[in-house]
Structure 1
């Protein structure tokens, strides 16, 4: 199943997504909400993935970003029993629509409410990161293990995605961020940020808005690499939990260093 899904994702990326990169007509980009766009590549890739995934696992259901945009009730399927696929057909759509990288195709398989497997294809870089519950995480076929030490706040590099942070928390995080080594706004692509933490390209990423297709695939990769995925109050991430605020890190010590540096007064969270 892991290889079959990977093959499907690569096929959809090669035949639907990449041919439209930097070749989108004006009418093939639409605005779903202020600052959030959708392209014909998102729509057609999701349809192709939905057909392929349900054929691989008859009786399964799909929660896709664009299907939810068309009918918010589709999101309720995340809590279904049995097999549920979570699909982000083009993660980083704003980058894609602007002719920029990175962007990714992401899929997660949920069995009876628990994450079972996930796939993230960095389309321009042609890097595939895969995880299976209890079996580890792999990038391009090589086992990925997150770092186990904490070098200290001043040595840490990572992302604070400020776009959806409430103004007060944005102000607090901005004031305290200089105590960390390097803090960026990120690549506007969760499909890039999660594998980057697993492979130690960066050591943390903080998000506020939590949508299943943005975070379910990467969350399993982080956990299977040995890392942690928690809400800012320290509670573990779960698909059924819609709380805002999610911090990922390679280990517990780094998680606490970053959270406590950015928000030393946890009562504000």
Structure 2
């Protein structure tokens, strides 16, 4: 069953509520004991992440009866939950604060991500900016929209840029395997900008809105980072597949995902970075 217009409104309202109650009061107001480290020093979690995820997880079943709700922080505590993604008939996948590193530094470049998947296929996504109070929303097979809290809504489209020297791409250089870094640097040469925002939410928003041309994922493409963005990019006219050509699915735990404004750009980026495929495990 696809997400209905009423469910869309209710899910976004749940995100707005969590932002007001748990995230925005802590922005630039975190205490040291509200910040912890997960897998490595740059992988942070805060009280805002944990409490907003709990709040949304409690509220979503009333809107999506029967759906399995899976959040990044719950999976961090109990990794076996990751295996449920792709098995459930319907799953709601949450990243309560995407861009936590930026959030902890007081940089307003973070977002909230919500995706709905049916089995392995993402069907709906919201990329929400809690500071600006606007969002990119997408249903599979429908045009992606940019929406503001005052009711403005507009279809968006990916970039039609064809010159690499004018393209912007997002490459997570700092979390790629060290033995690839020199080759990655060489592959990035020739683009106007190859950078990373440390926030998948805003990277996907920019691609969907025609403000950047491509994104390459980490070799572990966590669905809470990518599922909603894939739906948004495709609904805006773009392409998202693993670098080996396989269609994106939320259950696949390894492999570099390439999301691009067009098939032409996808092919160009995949060709340049094909060497990553060898150890995408």
Runs of 4 or more off by more than 3 Å in structure 1?
Answer: 265-269
Normalised by the size of structure 1, how large is the TM-score? 0.93
Matched, 1:103 2:110: yes
| Within-5 A mapping of 1:224-239 | 224-239=235-250
Contact 1:153 1:257 in 2 (8 A): no
| Within-5 A mapping of 1:236-251 | 236-251=247-262
For residue 60 of structure 2, what is the aligned residue in structure 1? 53
Distance 1:68 1:262 in 2: 30
Matched, 1:146 2:153: no
Distance 2:192 2:163 in 1: 9
Deviation at 1:262, TM superposition (A): 4.5
For residue 166 of structure 1, what is the aligned residue in structure 2? 177
Q: Helix, strand or coil: the match of 2:215?
A: strand
Q: Helix, strand or coil: the match of 2:85?
A: helix
Distance 1:61 1:267 in 2: 32
Gap runs ≥5 in structure 2: 1-6, 148-152
Gap runs ≥5 in structure 1: none
Deviation at 1:241, TM superposition (A): 1.8
Matched, 1:22 2:28: yes
Contact 1:231 1:243 in 2 (8 A): no
> Which residue, 198, 211, 218 being the options, matches 2:208?
198
Query: Structure 1 residues 267, 116: CA separation in 2 closer, same or farther (over 3 Å shift)?
Result: closer
Matched, 1:130 2:137: yes
| 1:174-220 Cα deviation digits (max 9, x unpaired) | 01322222212x11000000010111111111122311101111111
Distance 1:57 1:267 in 2: 37
Deviation at 1:267, TM superposition (A): 7.5
Contact 1:150 1:253 in 2 (8 A): no
Distance 2:47 2:264 in 1: 43
Distance 1:122 1:196 in 2: 12
Distance 2:123 2:244 in 1: 25
Matched, 1:43 2:43: no
Deviation at 1:160, TM superposition (A): 1.2
Distance 2:276 2:38 in 1: 34
Q: Helix, strand or coil: the match of 1:259?
A: helix
Contact 1:152 1:257 in 2 (8 A): no
- The number of aligned residues is 266
Deviation at 1:163, TM superposition (A): 2.2
Contact 1:91 1:191 in 2 (8 A): yes
Q: What CA RMSD, in Å, does the superposition of the two structures yield over aligned residues? A: 1.7
